[in-house]
Structure 1
């Protein structure tokens, strides 16, 4: 999410007022420095004191380096350990520069943006309705937009997750019941433009490519991230509320607040998560 007011007259907004010019970490950090110079209290706000917010930014930065969290049953194998340390180092630097909030809980990280104190806000699409509603009521107070996280480290990638329907394995189900289940799921998918109204990117192609969704902004703008979405590895230690989230709040967050060196944090994360895989 971006508060455009901090970048008026700069190279970071094009003639239509769209965010532009961020094609590397150096570009992004230049924008953060400019926002701070222009009065932003938290140039990039995310939930630095929350497991989900911390992990999602870390994982995005890891994947943007072409890194892998788990490879053939090994956590942060080979140079992935160095890539993890680099991701934590970047987050630590944002803290040192005063660009991100200190120990911000989720609600506080959102409030920093909606109150106009943050230039950028890294979060999921589920907060889009918050911004849309506030803008319609005239309580947001600034021109805003939302884009997929720019390519900062060479590889385009954004942490993502998906809501999905599932039919439990091993369930005895008659052909008639299965047909009814699939009909219900199909109806939900075919009518998922309502789901898109909550900020989400619909998975059903006819809806995702429809004129109705194409006119839905800023959803249509950031829907490109579906092509480069970075999902957690399929593992019992990964995913929402899993040990990787515990590692984010217990290891990564303390490191970026100065209690551990990035390399130490990456090694501790590797050891902790590897023990969970045994």
Structure 2
């Protein structure tokens, strides 16, 4: 008996990389899995169901239950149909793991409108649309007296939480997902739904070429380390964990994000000429945002 025995899960972007590891781990722990993947390139071009089909076949070969779904999760109607497919096939839905994503890295001044729009659409709307339809199913179940112990697990990124040059589109979307997670965790708690997010650090096709890793570092970037956290958060044992952002998830550990905090306060003034002194004093006493070093900028 696995920790997710009998539960029904949707994993988006599950044909490759960390999504594949999530689907396999959830199945290993007893969940019935809808393996969603449009099958496009890392930049979001094309479509191919074969990666998702291969994951389904691997799950079935191991004795689990899984089906393929090729929906574009950023399409409203397709996201709704994906949720309905899980319900119609397996009799319900308990777990939604929003993992699908693409990359179109550019320096902001070189980024096209299409680079911006598509990345925001896939990541941000592609998280919102499945969540909306799944939450409405859970809300109706709750009203009917059949409240489900449900889970939403979203995917943020260190780029969104700490910033990464060349990823203004991707980072903005991932930061938005973190905020979306905090808000929806509060909204859905009354119907038994927990909502958490994590920022995975793994070696996948999305990170190919970004850095050279080997040895222990490569081993610790195996997606299975992250999949174990996802399976636990998806299990009944994690019913009291919600509204959390795991700011780092990999083989070296799971870091609980501490979020934004108020720092030193400068006295306010109605006179613009009086703002500088107190403000500079407060800035000097404050730490820099994560990812920003004091020597990043040349101060006058």
Asked if TM exceeds 0.5, the reply is no
Structure with higher strand content: 2
Which band: TM-score by shorter chain?
under 0.3
Q: Which has the higher contact order (CA 8 A, sep 6+)?
A: 1
